Amino acid sequence: MEDENIASEQSERREANGNADSLLAASINEKLSTLTSLPSQCCIYRVPDTLRRVNEEAFVPRILSIGPVHHGKKRLRDMEGHKWQYLKALLQRKPGTMVERYVKAMRELEARTRGCYAEIIKFDSDEFVTMMLLDGCFIIELFLKNKNKQLRDEDDPIFNRTMVLTDLHRDLILLENQLPFFVLETLFNLIENTDQEGPSTSVLELTYVFFKFLGLQEVLIRDSQPDVKHLLDLLRLWFVPPSSTKSTSKSKFELIRSVTELHEAGVKFRMGTVSCLMEIKFINGVLEIPPLTIEDTTDSLLGNLIAFEQCCNRFTPHYITDYVILMEYLINSPKDVALLSRYGIINNLLGDNEGVSHLFKKLGKEVVFNSDKFQFSNLCRDVNKYHKTRWHIWRATLRRDYFNNPWAIISFIGAVLLLFFTLIQTVCSLLSLKKGNNK
């Protein structure tokens, strides 16, 4: 009887466990069924924690929220009022414009826009569409006012305050603060060209004018329409070299010496004349590097471009990442910065050479790069080969130690002449002695 009770209890336990397992399995299946794969058009990401921990300030907006990631944060609410004022100004220049037209256009793009973000957006449809309309029109109106001063009010709260405009330049390039470019283009196309300078005006051109101070390439992409994801992506396109000059090198990655070490080995430095940062060349012992201005927002600009490349695998190679890695190797100390500044390659608006050196160390920290596809592999190989040649080192040492100032040159020439005359005197003495012995 006792054995039967034990068997019965075990059977009930197994049945209960079986039911529990079934319920758990059903719960897991339900969760799996609600998951969606990352959309193929995804292009706006949260900055990876590894990069954020190195320099969080570089990725956080100061005054402006664009898109859903930072939307509604208390410290960014002051700019929300200016967004509505800019939307009102834009609409007032178009008598009879129906807001419904803009709303309908944004509603049609809602699903596509949500798919551009690497996370689920929890705003309901009306909230999301309002955000798209308000943020998109604010950017367009800001760009239009930037290009055409006549559109600005006398008491404009943005263009009358340099600090606010500077912060807007910075906030609009943050990876987490992006709006899909097709949203801007759709809104812009809804606006008649009555207040613009000619039919050639486009969002591309307005963006170029707004960010021109960054030293972007002079040639706008007009003929071929690039596949632009957002403003940060567009800036990246303007920074990377044209397809015709992109490296196809498969050379093995090599570390490169610092600027000071290369300089001591006879490598000369020259400021590049092209506007593309990536076009660094080494020809006949001369390392030519395009000029780079270092200012307060440089770490944020380069940091967000790197974060974008780190998140998006469609970029091969990672041009901005590779550029920063190369500069990190070249700049190891304030002395390296001073040398690059002397040749006009670094325009240091920070005023502190050590700060520039620290900047590149910070930008390169926690960054992953593909050594097999490093953009500057050929360049590093050629520079290292030149550096290892003894003749170049001896020649540089001679120039540094004996030809670094006029007095040193005079002393060297005097020593050579003294040696020459001593040699002549010795030869003459030997000839006289030989002539005497012959007698």
Highest-pLDDT range among 152-161, 231-240, 265-274, 319-328: 319-328
Q: What is the pLDDT of residues 397-427, one digit of tens each?
A: 545 555 555 655 566 566 666 676 677 767 6
Q: What is the pLDDT of residues 5-61, one digit of tens each?
A: 555 555 555 565 667 777 778 878 877 776 665 566 899 999 999 999 999 999 999
| CA nearest to 110, candidates 183, 30, 41, 176 | 183
pTM: 0.81
Which residue ranges make up each domain of the chain?
Answer: 1-35, 49-239, 251-394, 405-438
Distance in angstroms (rounded) separating the CA atoms of residues 351 and 294: 9
Distance in angstroms (rounded) separating the CA atoms of residues 397 and 400: 5
Q: What is the mean pLDDT of residues 229-245?
A: 81
CA–CA–CA angle 189, 192, 193 (5° rounding):
100
- Residue 232: is its pLDDT beyond 80? yes
Distance, C-alpha 223 to centroid of its chain: 25
Give, to the nearest 10 degrees, the angle between helix 390-402 and helix 377-388: 70
**Burial class of residue 168 (count of CB atoms within 10 Å of its CB; 0-12, 13-18, 19+):** buried
Distance in angstroms (rounded) separating the CA atoms of residues 138 and 131: 10
The 10 Å CB-count burial string (b at 16+, else e) for 64-98 is bbbbbbbbeeeebeebbebbebbbebbbeeeeeee
Residue 358 is predicted with a pLDDT of: 94
Q: What is the DSSP letter of 220?
A: -
Distances (CA, A) of 202 to 91, 101, 196, 302, 378: 18, 20, 9, 26, 38
CA–CA–CA angle 382, 387, 388 (5° rounding):
100
CA–CA–CA angle 219, 221, 227 (5° rounding):
145
Distances (CA, A) of 286 to 27, 256, 343: 66, 15, 12
Q: What is the mean pLDDT of residues 141-156?
A: 92
Q: Give start and end residues of each alpha helix (H) in 72-153.
A: 78-92, 99-108, 110-114, 125-147
Cβ atoms 319, 278 nearer than 8 A? yes
Distance in angstroms (rounded) separating the CA atoms of residues 328 and 308: 19
**Three-state DSSP state, 234:** helix
Distance, C-alpha 287 to centroid of its chain: 22
Residue 40 is predicted with a pLDDT of: 64
Which residues, at least 6 apart from 204, have a Cβ–Cβ distance to it below 8 Å?
A: 220, 221, 222, 228, 234
Q: What is the mean pLDDT of residues 299-324?
A: 89
Q: In this structure, what are the phi and psi dihedrals at residue 301, rounded to the nearest 5 degrees?
A: -60, -55
